[in-house]
Homo-oligomer: A and B are copies of this chain.
Amino acid sequence: MATVRLMSDAEAETIPAVKAVFDDIRATRKTDFINNFWRALAFDAGLLARTWEGLKAVMTVPGEIDPKTREMIYVAVSIANSCSYCVHSHTAQAKAKGMGAAEHAELLSIVALAAQTNHLVTGMQIPVDPEFQL
């Protein structure tokens, strides 16, 4: 189905640069589970490593925005970019980090409202108010 092969653990064991990333994912996330995204990226060890380092820096380092909210923002962007796998994986992660049904409904409500007004604004080509300029 994918345009690249998904790498099994057995094969990953034989490629040190891939194994190092898989090990770090497992250690960072405290789980043995490696989802298909990483198994697909593994066809190119450099791409895999750069993508994981980027995600680790943004999603796992403590910051102003809490982990659950980060996943919810991720879901919002993934919906707008129409990425089915991403909606599945990040909705699952937001739920795992505590997003309940009411919160999920609010998230979807905001995303849908934003899409609605985004299209109205683009349809009317509204000039930015001076009050919104920096």
Contacts and interface: CB of A to CB of B under 8 A. Distances in A.
Interface of A: 1-6, 33, 35-37, 40-41, 43-44, 46-47, 50-51, 54-55, 57-59, 63-65, 69-70, 72-92, 100-129, 131-134
18 contacts: A2-B124, A4-B124, A33-B131, A35-B129, A37-B126, A44-B104, A47-B105, A54-B113, A55-B117, A58-B113, A65-B106, A76-B80, A77-B115, A81-B122, A86-B117, A87-B122, A89-B129, A111-B120
Contacts of A1: 125, 127, 133-134
A118 B109 CA distance: 12
Given A92-B131, A117-B55, A128-B88, A80 B80 contact: yes
